[in-house]
Amino acid sequence: MSTAPTVYDVAERSGVSIATVSRVYRNPDSVRAQTRERVLASARELGYVPSGNARGLASRSTGVLGLCFPDYSDPDAESEAETGAGDEADDDAAMLYSDQIIRGMERAARRHGYALLIAASLKGGPESLVAKVAGRVDGFAVLARTVPTEDLDVISRRQPVVMLAGPRESDDLDHLDHIEAANTDGQRELTRHLIEDHGLRRLAYIGAQESPDVDARFRGYAEACRAAGVPVSGEPDLRVAIMTQAEGARAADTLLDRPGERPEALLFANDQMAVGALHTLERRGVRVPEDIAVTGFDGIALSRLVRPALTTVRQPMRRMGEEAVELLVRRLTGQQDKQPVSMMLPVTVARRESCGCARGASRA
Amino acid sequence: MSTAPTVYDVAERSGVSIATVSRVYRNPDSVRAQTRERVLASARELGYVPSGNARGLASRSTGVLGLCFPDYSDPDAESEAETGAGDEADDDAAMLYSDQIIRGMERAARRHGYALLIAASLKGGPESLVAKVAGRVDGFAVLARTVPTEDLDVISRRQPVVMLAGPRESDDLDHLDHIEAANTDGQRELTRHLIEDHGLRRLAYIGAQESPDVDARFRGYAEACRAAGVPVSGEPDLRVAIMTQAEGARAADTLLDRPGERPEALLFANDQMAVGALHTLERRGVRVPEDIAVTGFDGIALSRLVRPALTTVRQPMRRMGEEAVELLVRRLTGQQDKQPVSMMLPVTVARRESCGCARGASRA
DNA sequence: ATGAAAGCGCTAACAC
DNA sequence: GTGTTAGCGCTTTCAT
């Protein structure tokens, strides 16, 4: 693997100038067919591949879009694999949030001729994640709360950045484009369903702390409660640190052990926690949904695989990824006015078994 | 979004040379703390982000690994969404082959400080997919049959390339590293199960043409048949063009309509086709597994969601992605001798309902 | 610990 | 249609 051949090598070997070699790759028609073939031939012989870096440097664009997302890996999800019956080591089935977004972005990017660079947060240093990605792409999307706000602030002055799934956090990020799901609407509707259709009134809400998404969802929950005359406090009944299965399992224990009447329904701010709770409830012999209803939020694949199947609010993550790319591309091609864009994608309530809705309704 | 600030701007603003600015980002400790802070400060003020391109050009490395995969999007899978009961528009649930690999690669890459560039094949031109990716990464993996063999041949002379899931096609690619799943072993074991444990003897195998993977699987099938004294021809009973659900559905029709005794089992070379067949059989009123057994290959999430759940062979795609990265990194750091590496990852047979094994065994 | 200068491999005017 | 010539923004010796 000696030194890679360059335009110069190819030019020399085919008796043309480097400019012509360059043209062959970027605008083949501007070169006489015969010349072109000659160039292509020697390129092949030499094993020449244009350096993306050099091209990017010279043309000031990379043809790559990026995505930064948090390290969502849920350790519990991994162990889920062992738990499965027989050889069903299917933690694979749990397609995450980020996987969906990646898929959506990749497709849309491809349609526009872009490749996708993905990177999950890990550590810090002056050389942060965003910086690394930002320096290599024409524009990128960031899953909320993945990177320090100030970093984004700085970078968004240089290139298009769209914030995903997280509401525009503070006012300093007002100028950032952002796309979110209708968290409030979804949770409101789900809550309404529990109250009105199932007649439940003693509800408990479980979320994380310092999450704008959770806040938005809780807001919907509270609104529905108030609308139905069900008492609510201004805060979730329980706040966990990270929304994993383990935490969901613990949360269920905590809530059941609290003095006073047992809640009739446990509303979790995401599916993973709800699944964890399902485990706990089964272990304790509490039947779902007969004794208690459980709901999640997100609509990850796992939510449909658990028994009872989880009633939840499905977020269009795939679409979010696509919209993000469309927006970035529009910015990049200048066909989008300066005004920051703010989209809210509609969600849908998936009524399944865990809330008491018809069993066996799902079918592939 | 005027011109982005460069090292020069930062250098000037903080009264140092560009070399120092550069050092601050690459090797912070080699600069006096006071100077460093000054540089970082002005960088922040200016909104400076190092250009990945320029860095890559100068340092001859990108810190990015790549993955090229075919455009696997199965149009049928999309429409599957509409088919689903109620609001279960869950084609999402079908986590593909490539998604798993991406996940595996991303994790492993992150551990080693690399980002991941992904791109699916689309069109041709002198500027092919590989070229685009190859020029921007330090090394990359390619899902078999995604790109022209000759392209790889050329590129692998410049940078590490590992071929995934496809056996080393021809001899010209002998020098390429490659990782594959134990296709033959898996299909042999599954076939043996059908024959010995379920006592089936009239089997039909359905694969695609010109697919090394399919060939390897068929080989295992044939071996198991011979070992059990079941007659087999040297060819799959049916070859389709692309292994989609639609094709699988048609294949089932074709096979059932053939004169002669109806087969007792349909063994498909992948899950998607098997799922398609399930639809056809249900439509025709043929019960699975009572009237006929059906099996797939891959172990995609969908295989577990369909009814009856599909018996299949699970490939460790996630792990394959991880191994690919490990290998690339080893090559990149020179801690891997010249010899081409060839790994074969073990697979496992998932016995579910469609072959006649216990119902309801699966549980999340 | 910091600076000066020479590229890295390509694209983009601008000539011819 | 093809060649010339500047850079693009950084890293990297080599000095100091």
Closest residue (CA) to C1' of nucleotide C11 is A58
What are the residues whose beta carbons fall under 8 Å from the beta carbon of A83, sequence distance 6 or more? none
**A156–chain B nearest CA distance, Å:** 9
Say whether B47 and A158 touch across the interface (CB within 8 A): yes
Q: How confident is the model at residue A174 (pLDDT cuts 50, 70, 90)?
A: confident
Task: Name the burial class of residue B73, with classes exposed (0-12), middle (13-18) and buried (19+) by CB atoms within 10 angstroms of its CB.
Answer: middle
DSSP state of A273: H
Q: How many other β-carbons are positioned within 10 Å of the β-carbon of residue B51?
A: 21
**B234–chain A nearest CA distance, Å:** 31
Q: Nearest-CA neighbor of A225 among A254, A188, A259, A199? A: A188
For the CA of A149 and the C1' of C2, the distance in angstroms is: 33
Q: Which of the nucleotides lies closest to B23 (Cα–C1')?
A: D11
Report yes or no: A310 and A352 within 8 Å, Cβ to Cβ: yes
Cis peptide before A289 (omega within 30 of 0): yes
Q: How confident is the model at residue A82 (pLDDT cuts 50, 70, 90)?
A: very low
List pLDDT tens digits, range A95-110.
567 888 999 999 999 9
Q: How many other β-carbons are positioned within 10 Å of the β-carbon of residue A210?
A: 10
Q: Nearest-CA neighbor of B105 among A113, A118, A124? A: A118
Nearest to B301 among A25, A54, A93 (CB): A93
Q: Which of A40, A129, A132 to mutate to test the interface with B (most CBs of B within 10 A)?
A: A132
What are the residues whose beta carbons fall under 8 Å from the beta carbon of A347, sequence distance 6 or more? A181, A182, A183, A185, A186, A313, A314, A315, A316
Low-confidence ranges of chain B (pLDDT < 70): 1-2, 72-96, 122-127, 167-173, 358-364
Q: Nearest-CA neighbor of B105 among A102, A143, A162? A: A102
**A291–chain B nearest CA distance, Å:** 20
Q: For residue A102, which residues of chain B lie inside 8 Å, CB to CB?
A: 99, 102, 118
Q: For residue A125, which residues of chain B lie inside 8 Å, CB to CB?
A: 28
Task: Name the burial class of residue A154, with classes exposed (0-12), middle (13-18) and buried (19+) by CB atoms within 10 angstroms of its CB.
Answer: buried
> Whole-number mean pLDDT of chain B?
87
pLDDT of residue B148: 76
Report yes or no: B319 and B345 within 8 Å, Cβ to Cβ: yes
Within a 13 Å sphere around the CA of B309, how many CA atoms are in the beta-carbon half? 19
Cis peptide before B289 (omega within 30 of 0): yes
Q: How far apart are the first and last CA of chain A?
A: 50
Nearest to B116 among A118, A159, A318 (CB): A118
Say whether B306 and A364 touch across the interface (CB within 8 A): yes
A233/A85 Cα distance (integer angstroms): 41
At A74 the three-state DSSP class reads: coil
DSSP state of B340: P
For the CA of B47 and the C1' of D7, the distance in angstroms is: 23
Q: Which of the nucleotides lies closest to B18 (Cα–C1')?
A: C3
B319/B267 Cα distance (integer angstroms): 25
Rounded mean pLDDT of A273-291? Answer: 95
A214/B267 Cα distance (integer angstroms): 47
**How far does Cα B50 stand from its chain's mean position?**
33
B39/B46 Cα distance (integer angstroms): 11
B98/A258 Cα distance (integer angstroms): 45
Q: How confident is the model at residue A72 (pLDDT cuts 50, 70, 90)?
A: low
Say whether B44 and A154 touch across the interface (CB within 8 A): yes
B131/B123 Cα distance (integer angstroms): 12
Say whether A351 and B86 touch across the interface (CB within 8 A): yes
Which bases of strand D sit closer than 7 A to a protein CB? 1-5, 7-13
Rounded mean pLDDT of A331-352? Answer: 93
Q: Which of A79, A140, A158 to mutate to test the interface with B (most CBs of B within 10 A)?
A: A158
Which bases of strand C sit closer than 7 A to a protein CB? 1-5, 7-13
Q: For residue A301, which residues of chain B lie inside 8 Å, CB to CB?
A: 90, 92-93, 95, 301
For the CA of B132 and the C1' of D10, the distance in angstroms is: 22
Q: What are phi and psi of B168, to 5 degrees?
A: -55, 110
A60 beta carbon < 7 A from strand D? yes
Closest residue (CA) to C1' of nucleotide C1 is B31
pLDDT of residue A337: 87
A351/B59 Cα distance (integer angstroms): 55
B266/B130 Cα distance (integer angstroms): 37
List pLDDT tens digits, range A227-264.
999 999 999 999 999 888 899 999 999 999 999 999 99
Query: Taken in order A189, A191, A196, A198, is the CA torsion positive or negative?
Result: positive
Residue with tokens 């329904």: A265
pLDDT of residue B129: 79
Q: Nearest-CA neighbor of B163 among B67, B98, B242? A: B67
Q: Are strands B115-120 and A115-120 parallel, antiparallel or unpaired?
A: antiparallel
Report yes or no: A292 and A308 within 8 Å, Cβ to Cβ: no
What are the residues whose beta carbons fall under 8 Å from the beta carbon of B58, sequence distance 6 or more? none
pLDDT of residue B95: 59
B57 beta carbon < 7 A from strand C? yes
**Residues of B 24-63 whose CB lies less than 7 Å from any atom of strand D:** 25-26, 48-51, 54-55, 57-59
Nearest CA in chain B to A303: B364
What are the residues whose beta carbons fall under 8 Å from the beta carbon of A92, sequence distance 6 or more? B95, B100, B299, B301, B317, B318
B329 beta carbon < 7 A from strand C? no
What are the residues whose beta carbons fall under 8 Å from the beta carbon of A173, sequence distance 6 or more? A149, A152, A153, A156, A163
Say whether B95 and A99 touch across the interface (CB within 8 A): yes
For the CA of A8 and the C1' of C15, the distance in angstroms is: 21
Amino acid at A264: E
Tokens of A302: 């796992």
pLDDT of residue A197: 97
Report H helices in chain B: 7-14, 18-26, 33-46, 52-59, 75-83, 97-111, 129-134, 149-155, 183-192, 212-228, 245-257, 271-284, 302-305, 317-332
Say whether A25 and B127 touch across the interface (CB within 8 A): yes
Tokens of B264: 């007792």
What are the residues whose beta carbons fall under 8 Å from the beta carbon of B295, sequence distance 6 or more? B190, B194, B265, B266, B267, B268, B274, B310, B311, B312, B354, B355
**A333–chain B nearest CA distance, Å:** 13
Report H helices in chain A: 7-14, 18-26, 33-46, 52-59, 75-83, 97-111, 129-134, 149-155, 183-192, 212-228, 245-257, 271-283, 302-305, 317-332
Question: DSSP secondary structure string, B258-271?
Answer: SSSSPPSEEEESSH
**A141–chain B nearest CA distance, Å:** 14
pLDDT of residue A146: 77
For the CA of A26 and the C1' of D3, the distance in angstroms is: 17
Say whether B86 and A361 touch across the interface (CB within 8 A): yes
Say whether B305 and A307 touch across the interface (CB within 8 A): no
**A92–chain B nearest CA distance, Å:** 7
Query: At what angle are helices A7-14 and A33-46 packed, to 10 degrees?
Result: 120
Say whether B53 and A56 touch across the interface (CB within 8 A): yes
Question: DSSP secondary structure string, A192-259?
Answer: HIIIIIT----EEEEEESS-HHHHHHHHHHHHHHHHHT----SS-SEEESS--HHHHHHHHHHHHHSS
Q: Which of A87, A88, A105, A310 to mutate to test the interface with B (most CBs of B within 10 A)?
A: A88
DSSP state of B184: H
Q: For residue B158, which residues of chain A lie inside 8 Å, CB to CB?
A: 1, 4, 47, 49
Cis peptide before B308 (omega within 30 of 0): yes
Nearest CA in chain B to A5: B158
At A115 the three-state DSSP class reads: strand
Q: Nearest-CA neighbor of B252 among B297, B283, B216, B221? A: B283
Nearest to B88 among A49, A103, A350 (CB): A350
Lowest-pLDDT range of A76-80, A86-90, A279-283, B110-114: A86-90
For the CA of A58 and the C1' of D7, the distance in angstroms is: 8
At A65 the three-state DSSP class reads: strand
Compute chain A's Rg from CA coordinates.
Answer: 26
Say whether B55 and A314 touch across the interface (CB within 8 A): no
